Structure 1
Amino acid sequence: MDLSTDPLARLDEVAWGTLHHAYGPAHDVPDQLRALRATDERIRHRALGQLLGNVYHQGTRWSASSQVVPFLVALADDRETLDRAGVVTLLRALVIGARRDDELPFNPRRAFAGGDGISEEQADLVARHLDAGDLFAQESLADVADLAPVRWAADAFHAGARHTDSYLRWLADPHSRLAGLAAELLAWFPPTERVVSALVAVPDDEARSAARASANLTLGHCPTEAVQIDTRLRDLLLAPGPAVRVTAAVALAYRNGELLPDRALDILVDARTTDPGVDPPGWDRSLRGFVALALQRLELA
């Protein structure tokens, strides 16, 4: 493969041995990233599991985690990567962690405030003493031991924030699950005019219904007051797919409260007893859960 098009071409330029993950120095990370390009599904699946355990161990990020982010983005950008959706799922874990939609709109300054006072050198020292198993014998590290993971999580988030252009490209991808994952990922970053326009523009045809439903939920959590958002969501109340209609109604309930259209309220009430459609990709909450939460916000649950 031409190095100019190889998503992992710069992999060996990272000093992985000086970085840490849950099991020590990150020497093994490059080969695990390379394995994500394998044609054998079992090899790819194993590599995803190994990386998840190493750089996102039980929800904790490490110094190696933020360095993995740009390579996952590059792999997902490349259509020769066979499981791009799996790669983006891992990317989401590193960048966002276990955060749920009730933290939206997301305020990274507030979320990562605890790690602001931790230097890279202090965080690295914590990692090395964790490797050696003597952290709690180091009184000088007592004050920073709990804050180092906050610093690593912030580093991973900010690494992910540098790639919103890629997320926008995935949003237009014909692979509906990948596009849906991208739509949810975009919910965690500032809703620029370009982002809002791209979310509004996702088609609502059957092939793209999963992506459209996910985009609806992201727009519902968007703090921006934009006429184009509400106009699009109202139009989607008549969409052919049930998940698209229901998520449009949920989003309008979030944005408009008691001023939502009667049709949106009818859709939400009906969704309590009928099948609301397939859960949108990328979101931890089920579609029925979103319906219940929307009705609760309207004081109807």
Structure 2
Amino acid sequence: MINEYEKLLAGLDEVDWAGLSHAYRSAHDVPGHIRTLCGSDDEAREQAFISLFSSIFHQGSRYSASPVAVPFLARIAIAGPAAAREDTMWLLTRLAVDWHDEYDVTTGINVIGWRAAAAEWGPEELLPWCEEQLAVETDPEKRAKLQETRDWVAAGNSFDSRWWALQAYDAVLAELPGLIVLLDDDDARLRTRIAYLLAWFPEVSATSLPRLLALAAHDKDLVTAATALLAAGLVGPPSTVEDITPYLDAADPLMRWAAATALVRLAGLDEAPVGPDLLGRAVTELTAAAHSTFDHVTDYFEGDLHGHIERTLHALPTTSGPAAAREALDACLPRIARDRSGSRTRKAIEQLFPAPQPDPAPRYADLTVAQQQLLDNLANHQHAWVIRSSADRLRQLGLPCSQEALQSFVGVHRTA
């Protein structure tokens, strides 16, 4: 351990980690992984992150050890080794909001609704149920299991994943007064990470909103500025429209996209000053973005900017819904290279290739522009498993059915 970081881990060994759980039961190994984050061995640090992501945050699930780890991770994000800070911030973000930041990407997170749903399965609600079951159970073996369950619930545990996720969210919420200092960090990646995290904490918007708007206005890093601008639009009240609207005329298209996206969200709020003309400008900008290829994207919707545009357009008020944005939706359809879930990819394949190709197959140049774009995106898809999962359907359609074959097909015909 490097001594200068020892103070960040004060209290780490005082936690009863063995009494906490993660995806692989006992969390006794968590303090060792956290300590490794502050070490000088890069390879060991990388492995520690992998272990933490797969244990206290396993495929989106959180456990009793998850919120307890948060204060130590927050200290590392603020003042830990440079090599550890960004990944630590990403782990904190995933612990707090995964996957709310994907599902609620166009509206902002509904913490009130989340709290209400989680409370139904919190320990206070579960404990009476456990005791009722114990009161009527006569089988000794079943009673022993029920007693164990009752004691576990009485210790502050729940069976519901939403409840555990909320505990991690609240643990990060408690650390935000310290983490917000990262908005002034010299590292643009850390400024971007905290701006993105703040997008999902409307509870602190009174403090975060002016800071986010200032970051959007003055930060020299484009991705940081765009991230902050959309974050402001996700946590801000209706009056934020006045702050966001000027960015529809920004020089960079990513800033215009962020402004248009934010305005669609704000238009859905009661008494928001977003009339038909302003909403029309936002849709026009999203349509332009849908036709474009971006060199830089934000973390919203896993970086799938075109998927984000599609979600945003479907969230339009009824009078300006998807029918009015058909051109933009059509332009987004084949842009699936960043599609993480595979749903957009499958939809695009079915809609753009509704029937098998004739034999012999048409030349690349004879395909429609949208079909060409889809094959280009398939060839350069960032999630290879999505192509593998679609291989059978591609084969049935008479299309190249592996990423290598797609790259060859697209490459050959591009130069033909």
After superposition, give the CA deviation of every residue in 1:7-28 in whole Å (9 maximum; x if it has no partner).
1122122122222222232221
DSSP-derived class of the 2:302 partner:
coil
Q: Where does residue 412 of structure 2 map in the other structure?
A: none
Counterpart among 177, 189, 198 of residue 189 in structure 2? 177
Q: CA deviation at 1:223?
A: 5.2
Q: Where does residue 48 of structure 2 map in the other structure?
A: 47
Q: Where does residue 169 of structure 2 map in the other structure?
A: 157
Q: Where does residue 63 of structure 1 map in the other structure?
A: 64
Q: Which ranges of structure 1 fall in alignment gaps of 5 or more residues?
A: 123-133
The alignment covers a number of residue pairs equal to: 287
- CA contact under 8 A between 2:195 and 2:228: conserved in structure 1? yes
Structure 1 window deviating more from structure 2 (291-300 vs 6-15): it is 291-300
Structure 2 distance, partners of 1:275, 1:205, is 25
* Cα distance change of structure 1 residues 188 and 41 upon mapping to structure 2, 3 Å threshold: same
- CA contact under 8 A between 1:75 and 1:87: conserved in structure 2? yes
RMSD across aligned positions (CA): 3.2
Q: Where does residue 33 of structure 1 map in the other structure?
A: 34
- Which structure exhibits the higher relative contact order, with contacts defined as CA atoms closer than 8 Å and separated by 6 or more residues? 1
- CA contact under 8 A between 1:185 and 1:282: conserved in structure 2? no
> TM-score, with normalisation over the residues of structure 2?
0.61
After superposition, give the CA deviation of every residue in 1:105-126 in whole Å (9 maximum; x if it has no partner).
322412422332358999xxxx
DSSP-derived class of the 1:274 partner:
coil
- CA contact under 8 A between 1:22 and 1:54: conserved in structure 2? yes
Q: Where does residue 289 of structure 1 map in the other structure?
A: 307
* Cα distance change of structure 1 residues 172 and 231 upon mapping to structure 2, 3 Å threshold: farther
After superposition, give the CA deviation of every residue in 1:267-293 in whole Å (9 maximum; x if it has no partner).
212111112452213543522222223
Q: Where does residue 273 of structure 1 map in the other structure?
A: 291
**Identical columns (%):** 28
Structure 1 window deviating more from structure 2 (267-276 vs 4-13): it is 4-13
Q: Where does residue 127 of structure 1 map in the other structure?
A: none
Structure 2 distance, partners of 1:153, 1:20, is 14
Map residues 1-301 of structure 1 onto 2, 5 A cutoff: 6-78=7-79, 80-103=81-104, 104-107=108-111, 108-118=114-124, 138-139=145-146, 141=149, 147-189=159-201, 190-204=203-217, 207-222=220-235, 224-226=237-239, 229-256=240-267, 258-260=276-278, 263-281=281-299, 283-284=301-302, 286-296=304-314, 297=316, 298-299=320-321, 300-301=325-326
After superposition, give the CA deviation of every residue in 1:228-279 in whole Å (9 maximum; x if it has no partner).
x323322222333321221111111221363526543332121111124522
Task: Considering fraction of residues, name the structure with more helix.
Answer: 2
Structure 2 distance, partners of 1:251, 1:63, is 35
DSSP-derived class of the 2:38 partner:
coil
> TM-score, with normalisation over the residues of structure 1?
0.82
Structure 2 distance, partners of 1:53, 1:120, is 28
Structure 2 distance, partners of 1:80, 1:88, is 12
Q: CA deviation at 1:171?
A: 2.5
Structure 1 distance, partners of 2:50, 2:260, is 36
DSSP-derived class of the 2:238 partner:
coil
Structure 2 distance, partners of 1:54, 1:71, is 16
* Cα distance change of structure 1 residues 119 and 88 upon mapping to structure 2, 3 Å threshold: farther
* Cα distance change of structure 1 residues 111 and 217 upon mapping to structure 2, 3 Å threshold: farther
Q: CA deviation at 1:5?
A: 7.3
- CA contact under 8 A between 2:39 and 2:45: conserved in structure 1? yes
* Cα distance change of structure 1 residues 185 and 81 upon mapping to structure 2, 3 Å threshold: same
* Cα distance change of structure 1 residues 220 and 191 upon mapping to structure 2, 3 Å threshold: same
Structure 2 distance, partners of 1:34, 1:242, is 42
* Cα distance change of structure 1 residues 284 and 117 upon mapping to structure 2, 3 Å threshold: same
Q: Which ranges of structure 2 fall in alignment gaps of 5 or more residues?
A: 129-140, 268-273, 327-416
* Structure 1 letter corresponding to 2:172: G
Structure 2 distance, partners of 1:121, 1:81, is 45
Between structure 1 and structure 2, the one with the greater Rg is 2
DSSP-derived class of the 2:235 partner:
coil
